[in-house]
Amino acid sequence: MTELLRRCDAITEDESPETRTLLQAYRNVLLCHESPNTRKAYARDLDWFVGLYCEYHDRGEMDVLLNLHRLVTRSKAIWYRDTMRSVTGAWGKPLADATINRRLAVMSTVLREFHRSGLIQSNPFKGLTAGYRCDPTPALSNEDRQKLIRAPDYLNAETIDDRQRLLRDRILLILLFVHGTRREEARLVKASDIGESQGHPVLSVRQKGGNTILHRLHPKLKEYIDQYVDEFLGDDGYLFTGLSNNGSGSPDKPISPQAVNWIVKHYAKKVGITQRISPHVGRATVITLALQGGAPLQVVSHAIGHASIETTARYDRSRNRMDQAVMLFQDCEL
């Protein structure tokens, strides 16, 4: 994959016209997306497909990449989908439906670009994700959510360093489990992103895809942030930084994704939450509890920043509960 990216980044006239078109199509997918995380994810999932294809068909990596438009037919796309259902991932467990869908979607994006560039007549991956229903990420109950966000008891901290760490962690947990902020969005928040709009405290968040939206903040969270900035941070720099044992952290370097994962799991264990948990469970919790509380689906979808309302609808667990189902026939006399 490194060799492909190098060639995409410096396409020369020495390449044949077809190869130049192919490399430009790869470049459009792998190098031109505004989000670096999306670029890495596309490259990783394309690399996974190529590795699997090489393993099963005894071909070299660059051979497959430079002939992908010739090699991948509808039958090969179906083979890829079915093979993913039979292999195991991390920890020896089958791949999750969400992982399979994501990898199929990435390949569909690549082949769609091939089609747009005139390299193929149709996209062999088109429609392959249809019919797969991924179970949504499990959510916490409101009771467990309250226990979790209150676990960092900064008011009873023994030292100033502990107070800084605990207050930081409480703010982070509230962003994740009360506002539904994505892990990547939360860890990159800066003090300068906090402001006011129409009389309400707001957080400016740069979302997946590069869009920037304003999140209205809970007033109590705004108090916590102001307190944290005044006591420990100053008016600039990342809100969440890695803290050493003496409480120091560089305002120019955000906390790592792994550290965010650890914080969530640490406090969940501390308060006795036994279900599998991650920062994304916070997002699922916010969506699920909002829908259960009667918030309109479209409002929740917009507030949470989903590109498609169908993604939000997956978390509407009441749709499959008969005691909460709308009786369409209630006004009909038989």
User: What is the structure's pLDDT at 271?
Assistant: 95
Q: Supply the mean pLDDT for the chain.
A: 85
Task: Assign 215 a pLDDT band (cuts: 50, 70, 90).
Answer: confident
Token pair belonging to 188: 């990159």
pTM value surpassing 0.85: no
Nearest to 238 by CA among 186, 202, 280: 186
Q: Where are the domains of the chain?
A: 2-116, 142-322
Q: If you average pLDDT over residues 174-197, what whole number do you get? A: 90
Burial class (CB in 10 A: 0-12, 13-18, 19+), 68: buried
- Positions of E strands within the chain: 194-197, 200-206, 212-216
Q: If you average pLDDT over residues 4-25, what whole number do you get? A: 91
Q: Is the pLDDT of residue 228 over 90?
A: yes
Q: Which residue has the higher pLDDT, 261 or 312?
A: 261
Q: Is the pLDDT of residue 81 over 70?
A: yes
User: What is the structure's pLDDT at 331?
Assistant: 43
User: What is the structure's pLDDT at 45?
Assistant: 95
Report the range of poorest mean pLDDT among 74-83, 101-110, 175-184, 203-212: 203-212
User: What is the structure's pLDDT at 90?
Assistant: 66
Q: In DSSP terms, which residues pair with 195 in a beta bridge? A: 202
Q: What is the CATH number of domain 142-322?
A: 1.10.443.10
